[in-house]
Amino acid sequence: MKEIETLMAEFKAEDEYIEEIQLRAKRYWRERKWPQNPEAWLRKAEVQIPNDITRLPPNLREEFEMLFRTQLRHAKHCLANGDADGLTVAIMLLDTNCETVRTNIRLHREASYSALQSDKGDKGAQARWGNRGELNKKIKELAQRQDDWGSLPTAELWPLLYAWLDENRLNPSETTGKTTDKSRIIWDGNPSGISYKTFKNQISAHRQQQNKK
């Protein structure tokens, strides 16, 4: 007796699920225009969707190809058997997946463009910071830093140089020697880097030049 009750409950749940899907399809097609010729729509989808899928990232292609084949097969079956409700649901799902594929293509294209621009930015920054002229400009700007007590000590400017290089995605690294003067920062585009002693001397030279003006 319990087995029959369980079976009937499963049938009822399945009927309710199908009814819910059909209601969703009707609501969906009130917002989206139902194709005047569903058969022609399916023929177009059969050509267009696989072409769009090839533009997806590799990790998404297989999933969407399998999903598309299954849903298209079901849609054709509903069309051949005159199942209007089933066809409505099938086309709704296919149309939704078309939009999902296009959205993923757009996101993939935007991500690729962003990565390309970031790479260009990194290479450009490396080229700029490998140039001693650009480095001197930054050191000159740091030499002009002041607080309420006057010019900032060189020891406080050294980590600011490191931070600036890091902000420019140049992967700086600092090596320390037996004395502070032996410390050195190197970064992408400038493997020799700059020592703290050189940095200190350049800060001093810039300040002396500024005081003469």
Which residue would you say has higher pLDDT here, 63 or 199? 199
Residue 8 is predicted with a pLDDT of: 62
| Separation of alpha carbons 41 and 25, rounded Å | 16
Strand 190-195 and strand 184-187: pairing?
Answer: antiparallel
Could you please report the per-residue DSSP string of 46-108? HHHHHHHHTTS-HHHHHHHHHHHHHHHHHHHHHHHTT-HHHHHHHHHHHHHHHHHHHHHHHHH
User: How sure is the predictor about 30, in pLDDT bands with cuts at 50, 70 and 90?
Assistant: low
Residue 120 has pLDDT above 70, yes or no: no
Residue 45 has pLDDT above 80, yes or no: yes
Q: What is the mean pLDDT of residues 96-103?
A: 76
| Separation of alpha carbons 75 and 96, rounded Å | 14
Q: 32: helix, coil or strand?
A: coil
Tokens at 26, concatenated: 């009707």
Q: For residue range 163-201, what is the model confidence (pLDDT) as tens digits? A: 888 887 788 888 876 777 778 888 877 777 888 898 999
Residue 1 has pLDDT above 60, yes or no: no
Residue 145 is predicted with a pLDDT of: 84
| Separation of alpha carbons 185 and 142, rounded Å | 16
Residue 129 is predicted with a pLDDT of: 47
Residue 23 is predicted with a pLDDT of: 63
